[in-house]
């Protein structure tokens, strides 16, 4: 708003080209900030609920990622507490983003269900696969933190992450969140 207020002075002083450049840059910064805000906390989860949020995620990556994404949320896991819902949603989003970047998959599946007192998130694909042990060792050295952040998010809720993968066999990442009904 202050920039627009000074527009007349900029034209009067012959600074109109510089002013237009600043204005364009600010417009880009505002658009990018809105994009990042949406990426960090998509409103669909808080406005429509966990199941609708997971469906939105599948639809978004089916369009954006170039592969089909299928979601299933069992009835007993459909209403996790808000804090857990956000962590599970963000982990699923990161894992599907990794599939987009690295797997060369034609199909990804997101499955959320419960086993006893544990909430389970499984994200699998039919892509290239990898050696989980060597890959996890390399991630920190390469400053790539997607899988590590998923692992840390699970740990923050007392959970864990397991990776089942092999070259040419696709990948399945399984998060287990204990005592999830009591948390949140």
Per run of 10 residues, the mean pLDDT along the chain (length 184 residues) is 64 63 79 66 78 92 88 93 89 92 92 94 94 71 72 91 92 90 50
Give me the numbers of helices (H) and strands (E) for the chain, helices first please: 8, 5
The pLDDT of residue 112 is 97
Domain with CATH 3.30.565.10 in the chain: 47-178
The pLDDT, as a whole number, for residue 163 is: 93
Contact call for residues 175 and 88 (beta carbons, < 8 A):
yes
pTM for this model (two decimals): 0.74
- CATH code assigned to 47-178: 3.30.565.10
pLDDT of residue 184: 44
Report d(CA 55, CA 57) in Å as an integer: 5
For residue 17, the model assigns a pLDDT of: 66
């Amino acid at each position: 708003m202050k920039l627009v207020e000074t527009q007349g002075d900029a034209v009067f002083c012959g600074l109109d080209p510089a002013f237009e450049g600043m204005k364009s840059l600010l417009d880009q910064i505002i658009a990018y900030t809105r994009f990042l805000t949406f990426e960090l906390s998509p409103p669909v989860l808080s406005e429509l609920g966990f199941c609708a949020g997971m469906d939105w995620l599948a639809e978004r990556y089916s369009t954006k990622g170039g592969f089909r994404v299928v979601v299933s949320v069992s009835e007993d896991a459909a209403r996790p507490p808000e804090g857990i819902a956000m962590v599970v949603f963000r982990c699923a989003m990161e894992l599907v983003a990794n599939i987009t970047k690295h797997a060369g998959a034609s199909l990804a599946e997101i499955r959320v269900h419960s086993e006893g007192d544990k909430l389970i998130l499984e994200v699998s694909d039919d892509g290239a696969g990898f050696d989980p042990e060597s890959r996890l060792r390399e991630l920190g050295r390469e400053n790539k933190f997607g899988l590590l952040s998923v692992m840390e998010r699970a740990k923050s809720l007392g959970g864990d992450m397991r990776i089942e993968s092999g070259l040419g066999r696709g990948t399945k990442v399984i998060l287990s969140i204990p005592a999830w009904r009591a948390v949140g």
